Amino acid sequence: MPQLPITIDRNSGTPIHVQIVESFSNLIQNKELKPGERLLSMRDLARSLGVNRNTVGLAYTELESIGLVQTRVGSGTYVIEANQGRDVGRSLPPGGAGRGGERLEHALSRRTRQGDALAERLSGGDGDTARIELGGLIPDRELFPAEEFRLVLSDVVKEMGPVILDYGSREGYRPLRRWLAERLSGMCGEVEEENLFIVNGSQQGLDLVAKLLLDEGDTVVVEGPTYHNAIGVFRLYGANLRPVPLDGNGMRADMLGDILEGERVKLIYCMPTFQNPTGVTMPLERREEIVAAAARHGVPVLEDNFGADLRYSGDEQCALRSLRGGENGLLLGTFSKILFPGLRLGWLVLPSAFREPFRTIRAYTDLSAGQLVQAAIHRFCEMGYLDDHLEKVRRENGARLGAMTSAMETHFPEGVSWTVPDGGMSLWVTLPRGIDSMELLMDARREGVNFAPGVLFHAGGGGRNEFRLSFTVEKEERIAAGIAALGELLRRRIATRRAGEWRESDVLL
């Protein structure tokens, strides 16, 4: 292939791999690269552009995901016919020209350049419903108690009439707040109703906390790895992220202490129970160390409690805010992971000092969550439907987790390790050095399996040899089949890697 007119602007706000994707997209659409032409190898293009090979790998993966190229194992990456891919005009990453030829990127705010288009695509799969879905952190819709919810929704509308369709308070529907405060008190410390706010899902809760606390340039400590959409939100508001590595007991308290001693930190964000993506749970001693370190330096802790109700084994763990020194912590929870994702309903517990400023922030955002949904959820919970549903979900998810780990023990080759959580929705896989989970993902999708690659979850880079598996979407038989397919792909990749190392060793000798 001749030398291509691809240039990299390192002063641009656009990620380098996105610039590479844009360049190839334009070359292909302008017919400068024709169907069937082979792209440079990742190594050769990386050397030509003076960038990391992993950066080119991200770009090639994105080009394949939007239907412009196809990777053939052992052969290379080739331009494909236009009608083989999806609507390229709709799929171009930020910065690409539209079909009308007009460019409006100059009108966009700098915040729109903070995200990663590839990460956004990979976090949601590619819409192929036939694939075995081991990537998404979502409940199985076949377990939804839809009929029970339909009944309570109908009852609420009949009993309350038009008033329930009016604006609600900024704090949320009072009976639901009262029910949640009573339910959370104890393991989550004393939760006062006036400090509990209903939000439109935990994602909005994260956004509102960022609006409330962060100024551009502030430092936020996160776990490494952590929830990819939290990374996106904090970066959207200009925060500098400082990841603290995890061990088998969660965020390392010693490394957190070092950061707090040396830097001015505005917020600590963590998931001590069934951490996303790893599934790891902090024991009590580690929780106390984290809380004590934060309290010494006056740094609030935002605890994401998204899956605490999804416990299948082991003992309940108290929330950080219930521990000595944790009284000023924030607690975020959601109905999305335990009930209906589409209702977008969650809750946020704040320290009293944040209550009035939060009400102001909320007023400028969306006024309040919808009253009808809140009233229906309250009725649903009050009648015991939620507890009945959770009992069924715990039983089913626990069996699916068991099916996944059993299949992994059978099919995953030596050198691959993984976490075994007591609950939640996912576990974390670590591959031998040199095995790339992004490349594995492309192979897996061709074999009909999807998972979430580790690069999504690392704020400071990394995760190439890691990935997340979810066990809550598929039934046991499909989970076992998906793991078997991944195991075979891993065996091939590890064997190929070892053969390459042996050949290199022969050359060196």
d(CA 123, CA 231): 13
Nearest CA among 316, 315, 263, 313 for reference residue 293? 263
Instruction: Point out the domain boundary residue: 108, 123, 138.
Output: 123
Is 111 in the same domain as 152? no
Residue 102 pLDDT level (bands cut at 50, 70, 90): low
Residue 474: per-residue pLDDT = 96
In-domain check, residue 1: no
DSSP output for 114-140: SS-HHHHHHHT--S-TTSEE-S-----
Structure-model confidence comparison of residues 365 and 408, the more confident one = 408
Instruction: Point out the domain boundary residue: 63, 89, 123.
Output: 123
Residue 91: per-residue pLDDT = 42
Q: Is the separation of the CB atoms in 75 and 49 below 8 Å?
A: no
Q: What's the number of domains the chain is made of?
A: 3
Residue 331 predicted with pLDDT over 60: yes
Average pLDDT rounded to a whole number, residues 6-34:
80
In-domain check, residue 131: no
In-domain check, residue 360: yes
Is 354 in the same domain as 461? no
Average pLDDT rounded to a whole number, residues 72-80:
79
d(CA 492, CA 416): 13
Is 399 in the same domain as 373? no
Is 226 in the same domain as 350? yes
In-domain check, residue 85: yes
Is 378 in the same domain as 392? no
Q: Is the separation of the CB atoms in 251 and 260 below 8 Å?
A: no
Residue 123 pLDDT level (bands cut at 50, 70, 90): low
Residue 119 predicted with pLDDT over 80: no
Is 377 in the same domain as 421? no
Is 197 in the same domain as 306? yes
In-domain check, residue 8: no
Residue 141 predicted with pLDDT over 50: yes
Is 58 in the same domain as 152? no
Q: Which residues pair with 41 in a beta bridge?
A: none
Is 197 in the same domain as 299? yes
CATH number of the structural domain spanning residue 423: 3.90.1150.10
Burial 16-46 (b: 16+ CB within 10 A, else e): bbbbbbbbbbbbbbeeebeeeeebbebeebb
Is 238 in the same domain as 336? yes
Residue 406 predicted with pLDDT over 50: yes
In-domain check, residue 140: no
Residue 64: per-residue pLDDT = 81
Instruction: Point out the domain boundary residue: 123, 154, 182.
Output: 123
Is 401 in the same domain as 287? no
Residue 431: per-residue pLDDT = 97
Domain range for 469 is 387-508
Is 337 in the same domain as 471? no
CATH number of the structural domain spanning residue 93: 1.10.10.10
In-domain check, residue 2: no
In-domain check, residue 52: yes
Nearest CA among 439, 445, 442, 409 for reference residue 427? 409
Instruction: Give CA angle at 463 (462, 464), nearest 5°.
Output: 95
CATH number of the structural domain spanning residue 276: 3.40.640.10
